[in-house]
Structure 1
Amino acid sequence: MHLYFAAPLFSESESLFNAHLAQTIRERYPQHTIYLPQENGDINDKQAYADSKMIALADTEEVKKSQLMIALLDGLTIDPGVASEIGIAYASNIPIIGLYTDSRQQGATNTKKINALKTIGENQFHYVNLYTIGLIKLNGEIFHSTTELLVGLKNYLEERDH
């Protein structure tokens, strides 16, 4: 099976996390291939040149040939490239497994946090684009930790193998 790893990739912390998680998955499931866009030097070597059409065509081709997308959703907002890749996967009926670890989602039963929503500017929770989240939930699942994501991936791969 070919997996597409959709993730922001422009900071050192993003690239390191992506590489670590992709390597973990590769070690656990060596029979599957993972396309991690940051490893494609033809379009993502920022010392070199790739125009917008080259990037769009290369990544879209990889999304469309995948049978599963893993999408990282953390950040101030969902990365625009990741959101675009999610849209392509959804339109291509490719299942999506999302990872959303933002700690501000905790405390959903805390009445002080809930009551704070009534005060302008006191949202204690993180907002994500509900359209993009909806695309994932319509054809996949979202997990709140790497551990949960790896279990979800295992379950998905086992279901596909049977």
Structure 2
Amino acid sequence: MVYYVAHRLFSAHDRALGARVAGRLADKAGPDSVFLPFCDTDEEDLVAEVKGRRLFELDIERLTTLTGMIALVHGPSLDDGVCMEIGYAAALGVPVTILSTDFQTYDPNGHAPAWHFPDPLIDTMSHRVVRVSSLGPVEDITDRFAAFSSRNHSQLDTAISEGITAMLSAPAPSPALPPATARYGVYVEPSPYFPDPGLVDTVRSGGHTVLAARRLTDERPFAAAITDWEHAASAAALVVDVSGPETPPGAAALIGAAAARCQPVIAYQPHPVYTHASGREPNWRNLMIQYASTRHATDLAAVLDGLAW
């Protein structure tokens, strides 16, 4: 059995939280059954000719052998690497338990049934969302800051316990969607941040049938999310606009799912911003997005070129 702890990696407190979850999980499942990115890929000290790609390969090795995943998802800006990992696992039928201590929920018009995360596709891909949204009980501590800290730690402890229990009791992996035997059309995922009005028309101009995402504009977003998930899985290729402060969460999850199912993905990003880390090559997006994508297109002409198979 292999359990994967998906979490943000880019700050000490996020890594510490991931380690806290992994340690509690190891107490129940055994340390050799738990994979913790950054820690178990030795990211701080790893030396490789192309370090980012090597880190991607090491994570993918574990993602293809999973029994279960527990994903730590903080909103409203979800980590695109974690969302990619959620999509990869879900496409392989691995049950994904999402752990959140957020107190916000989301809906498209202020009065519709709410979903847990900014994109309902993340809810759709999860087997279970464990949400502990309230502070822990008040303790008899005179220092108000220490008391507040204690309530937050108590909230986290409750969430971790409930999340691990939910993951360990999840069913065995099974195919989430049947393999597409006759893939057709191009699934197009616009950016919710900076939608390019020419993207869909450009894909159509190449003679392709377009399966366009609609969950973020549909009156029934949950039903539309399921349709988007099915359309993306059946498409011959995906064109995903990864523009924004980070890859949008649904886009990142769909890129992960496509990588697991060996579907071509064109990541469209007309205004890339590169990130840098010691010993690692520049990345135009989170490295899990960069290396899961088949092609990076910075203009619409390059999108069409990528679809000219």
Give, in whole Å, the separation in 2 of the partners of 1:6 and 1:62.
11
Q: Which moved more, 1:83-92 or 1:144-153?
A: 144-153
Q: CA deviation at 1:150?
A: 2.7
Give, in whole Å, the separation in 2 of the partners of 1:88 and 1:13.
25
- The aligned counterpart of 1:143 is 130
Q: CA deviation at 1:18?
A: 0.8
* Residues 151 and 40 (structure 1), Cα distance of their counterparts in 2 relative to 1, 3 Å cut: closer
Q: CA deviation at 1:67?
A: 1.1
- Are residue 132 (structure 1) and residue 122 (structure 2) matched? yes
Q: Which runs of 5+ in 2 are unaligned?
A: 133-158, 173-309
- The aligned counterpart of 1:13 is 13
Q: CA deviation at 1:99?
A: 0.7
Give, in whole Å, the separation in 1 of the partners of 2:79 and 2:162.
21
- The aligned counterpart of 1:155 is 169
Q: CA deviation at 1:74?
A: 1.0
Instruction: State whether residues 3 and 32 of structure 1, in contact with CA within 8 Å, keep that contact through their aligned partners in structure 2.
Output: no
Instruction: State whether residues 37 and 59 of structure 1, in contact with CA within 8 Å, keep that contact through their aligned partners in structure 2.
Output: yes
- Are residue 35 (structure 1) and residue 30 (structure 2) matched? no
Q: CA deviation at 1:131?
A: 1.7
Instruction: State whether residues 41 and 58 of structure 2, in contact with CA within 8 Å, keep that contact through their aligned partners in structure 1.
Output: no
Instruction: State whether residues 96 and 167 of structure 2, in contact with CA within 8 Å, keep that contact through their aligned partners in structure 1.
Output: no
Q: CA deviation at 1:71?
A: 0.8
Aligned to 1:10, the other structure's residue is in SS state: coil
Q: How does 1:72-151 map to 2 (within 5 A)?
A: 72-105=72-105, 117=110, 127-136=117-126, 140-145=127-132, 146=159, 147-151=161-165
Question: Greater RCO between the two (CA within 8 Å, min separation 6)?
Answer: 1
Q: How does 1:42-53 map to 2 (within 5 A)?
A: 42=42, 44-45=43-44, 50-53=50-53
Give, in whole Å, the separation in 1 of the partners of 2:100 and 2:32.
23
Give, in whole Å, the separation in 2 of the partners of 1:149 and 1:55.
26
The amino acid across from 2:100 in the alignment is Y
Q: CA deviation at 1:133?
A: 2.3
Aligned-residue sequence identity (percent) comes to 23
Q: CA deviation at 1:28?
A: 2.1
Instruction: State whether residues 78 and 129 of structure 1, in contact with CA within 8 Å, keep that contact through their aligned partners in structure 2.
Output: no
* Residues 31 and 143 (structure 1), Cα distance of their counterparts in 2 relative to 1, 3 Å cut: same
Aligned to 1:70, the other structure's residue is in SS state: strand
The amino acid across from 1:132 in the alignment is I
The amino acid across from 1:149 in the alignment is G
Aligned to 1:4, the other structure's residue is in SS state: strand
- Larger helix proportion of the pair: 1
* Residues 4 and 45 (structure 1), Cα distance of their counterparts in 2 relative to 1, 3 Å cut: same
Q: Deviations over 1:53-104 (max 9, x none)?
A: 2222211111111111111111432211011111111121111111121022
Number of equivalenced pairs? 140
Larger-Rg structure: 2
Q: Which runs of 5+ in 1 are unaligned?
A: 109-113, 119-124
Across the aligned residues of Structure 1 and Structure 2, the Cα RMSD in angstroms comes to 2.9
